[in-house]
Structure 1
Amino acid sequence: MWGIELQKRNKISLARQIFLSLKQSILMGQISQGEVLPSTRELAKGLGVSRNTVCDAYDMLLTEGFIVSRQGAPSHVAEGLHITQKEVVSPKEHKRERPPIRWDFKTGQPDLSLFPWPLWSQMIRRATNTLSAQQLEYSGPKGYEPLCEEIAHWLMRSRSMDVNPEDIFITSGATQAFHLLVDILHKEGHAFALESPSHPGIRTVIQDRGHLLQWMPVDQQGADISCIRDKDISTVYVTPSHQFPLGGIFPATRRAALIRLASEKDFYIIEDDYDSEFRYSGAPVSPIYSMDSSRVVYVGTFSKTLFPSLRIGFTVLPKPLQAKWKHYRNFMDVQNPVLEQVALTEFLRKRKMDKHIQHMRRVYAEKRNVLLNAIEHSFSNAVQFWGDASGLHVALQFPGMEFGKQFMLNCRNAGIRIQPVSQYCSVQDNHKDKLLTGYGHLSDTQIREGVQALFELIAKNSSGSLEFK
């Protein structure tokens, strides 16, 4: 009756099924505006349901304005409800069956199997049991204050950074920090200066907003800032402790020159401390922030030290930027979830973070050695390593080779996932002879087998000009 088909075993109640069916018919024009609906008794009899069920359905229609009802008169459809719906045709996708990924050299992926999950679970439970009702309310855009204090202590222990907890702001990872900073630091007609190659995170945010970009070429010592001396700059973004993706360390002379330029031209430096926790030879590299905190916005994250889905990062902000940050963050998402912040506070306070990083530094150093030995065994003098002995990936240069789309497709078909450096460049023709091999999440066996599979693929696709052994 009236096109209504009821499913009595459906999880949706019968009254709501009647409501949804009549609503759809009205919107599609199958029931005209002004048309009189059958009485509740008549429709109930036709559908084989109780009159109360139909009354409930009519009440829903009346509440949402689909029908008009007056005492003593039959209900009828309201005016102006017909909507012409265009059919959306999805493009046909021709999906090709591909072999599964067997050797995944993706970058920035920690070994999650070695994280102390039982200990973390205990801390989450304790946080759940100790949080007061007041702590479960909105706390504001700065973050959980005890966590800011523990991060300040941890930065002193791990980086020798003297940071006031008042200047630390908790974020949902580094990416959220980039979104906020691009809006805060943008100057009309001025460009954002980025490394090339560089991480796509902040680059994508800037490009999506249509802001100007100025690229700084990268060599084995990081960004060359000489190209921005005569430019109008909104801000400069660098990864000085372990340049992503080539791995160089920004030397003191370039750091000092960049700070002087920032002061002269009145812009801020965004320092993304990428992968700095995992350095395998010598002491940790000091951040630019330690040279001049007044011109540097320091961005850190716990995604690689703990686990990516934690989504807790932090930013150390100069005081002139803090009012704008609070305003933007307050109308973005207000704050991070408090439960994980409380657990992380305990994780830092009890030095479990220090212990975990020390352990993982040894583990990743061993994996790095396995990777380098496997590469040298397979490729011998045909490959050169880029970057400092740190981080969770190695950049490999194959002089004379070019890794384009076809090669990457061949890798994927062979069950290998690997990234060319060129995809992170402003000009795709740059660094075409380099590949990135992430290893943090791989076992020793996976590393050796993956390198051997990569060797066989490159040998098969090379022109014969390379001597592997």
Structure 2
Amino acid sequence: MLPVTLDRTSSEPLPAQLAGQVRALVLSGTLGTGDRLPSSRALAADLGVSRAVTEQAYDQLTAEGWLEARRGSGTYVTATRTPTTAAPQVTSRPTSPRFARSLPRSARTDEQARRSTSLRSSRPTGVTSRLDTGTPFFDPRLEPGWRRAWREVSVATPPPGYDDPRGLLELREALAARLGRTRGLELHPDEIIVTAGTTDGLRALLPELRPGPVAVEDPGYRAAAETVLTYGREVIDLPAVETVGDLGDAVAAYVTPAHQHPLGRVMPAADRLALLEAARRADAVVIEDDYDSEFRYDVAPVPAMAKLDRGRVVYLGTAAKSVIPTLRLGWLVAPPDLHELILRRRTITHAGAAWPSQRALLTLLRDGWLDRAVRSARRVYAERAPRVAEAMSPYATLAGPLAGMYSTWLLPETDARRARDAARAAGFEINLLSTYARSSGLTGLVIGFGGVTDAELDQALAALTGALAR
């Protein structure tokens, strides 16, 4: 029997309580890699709960990579925290070099230059809709609450001078409560710095790191890599689908563990622990971009990586995917030493997120609007993702689980370009996976489905599959 106790008087659901306690047993070393857990039926009987409770907890931990279900054998632990003095237990040894250093701007190949130019090009003539990774679904039924938030901004009294560089206290209190409830992070409001989005948080962090390169996932978030280069630091390409056992001389590693951008992979628990151990050995920080974390369809959202090591992880969040990108709001949680350095610089430079946006988001959080928006979008994405999969699976390979507001499909570059061009001719812009890659060489299509109507999605899929079938 597992040493767990469930509190039926708690507001936390029983499956979440059980999953949290099993996760804690793994992290403490009470459960080790290869240990077999009781069956869901046996554990339910021991705890006096329905089998659905234990099955949901096991499914959640399996999705996060802590457990593995072996058909006909049982459920086993697959990840254990490695002692800080030991080498990681999980390593990978690819045939290619682990890190490929980005070329200086002057030494880019023609192909790299072409990709860079294509990213800055304007929307092609005739394109009416973008099936991208950054445009969320906006439920028109929520428009009254949106308008009410901005009416409150219009009658609120703005600060007479520069506001607190940490952001509005009331907003930080609301964010602390939400991050505790949805991401498992227990925070004091003063630990949060409100930013003008994820890249603004990265811009605030980079000057405070010691000299050295920054590892960024490849393929990965293009704005992050460009921001690192802008600050005069070298970018090291961090393979997005491999276990990282060594960070070399990198001073930071930028990752999207909840929903890898753009492949959609959830970083397994063993890989999270290995990356944290590599960061400890390199005296580096892990920059967690909690991208697209709230939009899982099968299980609850995977807890934030920062929950595993608050002293090593810099946490970046954003309202771009749950509200709209143009709100330009995010939040940063850093270890105490970095927090003080960031806050000092922001105080001197009067940096901070726009007060009207902060005030509007406060109302959206207070009124429960944001929770309703996330639930509504999650239902839409859960319905649209299988439709995309049904259309694309005969022609391409899905790169990650169905989650979030887009899915990524692996296929040869020539096929991807032919399909992209057909969609463009039909009035839809779809991104090539190659534009997110630097040295990985992965190719395919990244198909977003948040910012279009159902009819537009069907039209775009018809154009894509028609080109691939030919």
TM-score, normalisation: structure 1: 0.70
Which residue in 2 is equivalent to 1:384?
397
Matches within 5 A, 1:116-265: 116-131=142-157, 135-185=159-209, 187-188=210-211, 190-219=212-241, 223-226=242-245, 228-229=246-247, 231-265=248-282
CA distance in 2, matches of 1:402, 1:328: 47
Q: CA offsets per residue over residues 56-91 of structure 1, 9 Å max, x none?
A: xxxxxxxxxxxxxxxxxxxxxxxxxxxxxxxxxxxx
Instruction: Work out whether residues 302 and 312 of structure 1, in 8 Å CA contact, stay in contact via their aligned partners in 2.
Output: yes
CA distance in 1, matches of 2:219, 2:139: 31
CA distance in 2, matches of 1:386, 1:209: 31
The total of aligned residue pairs comes to 350
CA distance in 1, matches of 2:379, 2:139: 15
Which residue in 2 is equivalent to 1:366?
383
Q: 1:97 to 1:391 in 2, by over 3 A?
A: closer
Secondary structure class of the residue paired with 2:407: strand
Post-superposition shift, 1:405? 6.3
CA distance in 1, matches of 2:124, 2:160: 47
CA distance in 2, matches of 1:328, 1:96: 35
Secondary structure class of the residue paired with 1:215: strand
Instruction: Work out whether residues 239 and 273 of structure 1, in 8 Å CA contact, stay in contact via their aligned partners in 2.
Output: yes
Instruction: Work out whether residues 333 and 339 of structure 2, in 8 Å CA contact, stay in contact via their aligned partners in 1.
Output: no
Q: CA offsets per residue over residues 127-172 of structure 1, 9 Å max, x none?
A: 33242x6x34212311101101100100111122211211100001
CA distance in 2, matches of 1:270, 1:365: 28
Post-superposition shift, 1:417? 1.3
Q: CA offsets per residue over residues 213-258 of structure 1, 9 Å max, x none?
A: 2111122xxx5313x34x1121011000000000111111111112
CA distance in 2, matches of 1:265, 1:98: 45
Q: CA RMSD in A?
A: 2.4
Which residue in 1 is equivalent to 2:138?
112
Which residue in 2 is equivalent to 1:311?
328
Q: 1:171 to 1:401 in 2, by over 3 A?
A: closer
* Bigger Cα displacement from structure 2, 203-212 vs 148-157: 203-212
Post-superposition shift, 1:122? 1.6
Matches within 5 A, 1:252-401: 252-376=269-393, 380=394, 382-398=395-411
Secondary structure class of the residue paired with 1:225: coil
Post-superposition shift, 1:308? 1.3
Secondary structure class of the residue paired with 2:240: strand
Secondary structure class of the residue paired with 2:239: strand
CA distance in 2, matches of 1:253, 1:275: 21
Instruction: Work out whether residues 374 and 448 of structure 1, in 8 Å CA contact, stay in contact via their aligned partners in 2.
Output: no
Q: 1:401 to 1:202 in 2, by over 3 A?
A: closer
Post-superposition shift, 1:180? 1.5
Q: 1:97 to 1:302 in 2, by over 3 A?
A: closer
CA distance in 2, matches of 1:278, 1:157: 15
Instruction: Work out whether residues 248 and 388 of structure 1, in 8 Å CA contact, stay in contact via their aligned partners in 2.
Output: yes
CA distance in 1, matches of 2:153, 2:317: 23
CA distance in 1, matches of 2:303, 2:327: 26
Instruction: Work out whether residues 133 and 448 of structure 2, in 8 Å CA contact, stay in contact via their aligned partners in 1.
Output: yes
Paired residue for 1:430, among 408, 432, 441? Answer: 441
Q: Is 1:448 aligned to residue 458 of structure 2? A: yes
Q: 1:98 to 1:200 in 2, by over 3 A?
A: closer
CA distance in 2, matches of 1:343, 1:209: 31
CA distance in 2, matches of 1:414, 1:448: 12
Q: 1:184 to 1:97 in 2, by over 3 A?
A: closer
* Bigger Cα displacement from structure 2, 146-155 vs 347-356: 347-356
Which one-letter code corresponds to 1:233 in the other structure?
A
Post-superposition shift, 1:331? 4.6
- Unmatched 5+ stretches in structure 1: 1-94, 461-469
Q: 1:404 to 1:450 in 2, by over 3 A?
A: closer
Which one-letter code corresponds to 1:165 in the other structure?
P
CA distance in 2, matches of 1:418, 1:97: 11
Which residue in 1 is equivalent to 2:34?
none
- Identity across the alignment (%): 29
Secondary structure class of the residue paired with 1:448: helix
Instruction: Work out whether residues 194 and 214 of structure 1, in 8 Å CA contact, stay in contact via their aligned partners in 2.
Output: yes
- Unmatched 5+ stretches in structure 2: 1-120
Q: CA offsets per residue over residues 159-207 of structure 1, 9 Å max, x none?
A: 222112111000011111111112222x33x220111000011100111
CA distance in 2, matches of 1:217, 1:96: 30
Instruction: Work out whether residues 195 and 353 of structure 2, in 8 Å CA contact, stay in contact via their aligned partners in 1.
Output: yes
TM-score, normalisation: structure 2: 0.69
Q: CA offsets per residue over residues 364-392 of structure 1, 9 Å max, x none?
A: 2112233223335xxx2x32212122111
